[in-house]
A = this chain, B = another copy of it.
Amino acid sequence: MITFKEAFEKVIDHRLDLGAEKVKLIDSLNRVLAEDVLADRDFPPFDRATKDGIAIQFSSMLENGHAYTIEGVAAAGVAQQTLNDTNHCLEVMTGAVVPKHCDTVIMYEHITIKDNKVTINEIVTKGQNIHYKGSDEKAGAVVLSKGIKITPAEIGVLASVGKSVVKVKVNPNICTIATGNELVEVDQLPEPHQIRKSNMLTIEAALLNSKIPSNSLHLLDDKESIKTALEKALIKNDVLLLSGGVSKGKFDFIPDVMESLGVEKVFHRVAQRPGKPFWFGVHAKLKTMVFSFPGNPVSTFANYHLYFLPWLYASWGIQIENLYIKLGVPLKIVPPLTRIIHVKTELKEGVVWGAPVIENGSGDLTSLTKADGFVCLEPKENTYEVGEVVRFVKTR
């Protein structure tokens, strides 16, 4: 049996290069940027008034003192105006180009206007209230680097530099596969010995949160039909995510069938609880990855976050940051298994505390809804103490 750390490294070693594709700007939300994005012009593109008020030439104050005649209005969205008489002023609006021969903007709150004459009531600093051309970014500067996840803030920057089409990392084609004769559809009324499919719906939803639509299969416990279905699925997809059928049962055909279809086993069984019977394999020729998770909900969900998501991010060329939180209760982890314990975290006065949710074994229906992540604890002689810093894997 392989250790948790070894298993993780083997999975990451098998990352794919998924390439890039172009999508419309708004569809790039929550995708991974696959190009460096440059400023197509200076930002701001002109000396921009940041207040509504008047624009003057500062040096004119030596002559004019605080009294000015209004020559006209410089609105936003209009080509640069010119102040003809530098002893006059122009009204200027936020977002407008600062007029020619002007170098200072004074906001309405600091002036009085009467009969087209302005009196300035406050101290003025030369150059105030102007956002200078190129002061944020010079044309050609990298404003977003490839490999970042595109959030609403990045959408704004992409829009500003004219990226109506954005190059993003390609999503893998994924098939989620439930196995087992005991499973029926969600809208069916199960017989007493049956249960509804739920596990792979959770995974389908988790994939959607990474902006990945998936297709799905349900395999009955029949070796020949499993083989036929998996053969097609291996060709059509980059990744198969399975749940169930990888343990010691008489109908746990998945490992055998996979190997007969040319999927090379990388490992089977990891020294961890839950999720131990995890089978991971690769079809080298088809470049299809097979993540075959044990069938209970907590095992599937844990292994999805512990292995598949880091693999996905690695395949996009980025790394998920390791998070560390403080343990809210003492925990004793006896050898030999790495323990994956689902916890509810609480951010209290700047400190993130995590404590296990009360649960009833790895088949528990609702315990995952009470947790927001897992802590990963290696076995050790001493008890993990309250306040000890431990690795945390976020699940919501």
Residue interface mask A349-361, B partner, CB < 8 A = 1: 1111100000011
- Are A363 and B131 interface neighbours, CB within 8 A? yes
Question: How distant is the Cα of A240 from the Cα of B350 in the complex, in angstroms?
Answer: 35
* A29 contact set on B, CB distance < 8 A: 205, 208-209
Which chain A residues in 13-53 approach chain B with CB under 8 Å? 25-26, 29-30, 39, 41, 43-46, 48, 50, 52-53
**A393: min CB distance to chain B, Å:** 13
* A188 contact set on B, CB distance < 8 A: 162
A202 interfacial by beta-carbon distance below 8 Å: yes
A285 interfacial by beta-carbon distance below 8 Å: no
Which chain A residues in 335-385 approach chain B with CB under 8 Å? 347-353, 360-361, 363-366, 368-369, 371
Among A116-124, A225-233, A322-330, the one that faces the other chain is A322-330
Residue interface mask A67-91, B partner, CB < 8 A = 1: 0000001011111100000000001
A189 interfacial by beta-carbon distance below 8 Å: yes
**A375: min CB distance to chain B, Å:** 11
- Are B159 and A201 interface neighbours, CB within 8 A? yes
* Residue in B137, B201, B352 whose beta carbon sits within 8 Å of that of A366 in the complex: B137
Among A2-10, A56-64, A149-157, A257-265, the one that faces the other chain is A149-157
* Residue in B93, B192, B251, B324 whose beta carbon sits within 8 Å of that of A79 in the complex: B192
* A153 contact set on B, CB distance < 8 A: 202, 301, 368-369, 371, 395-396
| In the complex with contacts A193-B46, A193-B79, A163-B186 CB distance below 8 A | yes
- Are A77 and B183 interface neighbours, CB within 8 A? yes
- Name 11 extra pairs, CB < 8 A, besides A45-B192, A52-B247, A91-B250: A26-B204, A50-B363, A76-B182, A76-B251, A80-B193, A95-B295, A143-B366, A151-B205, A156-B301, A162-B196, A352-B352
- 17 pairs, A vs B, C-beta closer than 8 Å: A29-B208, A45-B195, A73-B250, A75-B181, A76-B180, A77-B193, A80-B193, A93-B249, A97-B193, A136-B365, A152-B395, A152-B396, A153-B371, A157-B366, A160-B365, A325-B350, A326-B349
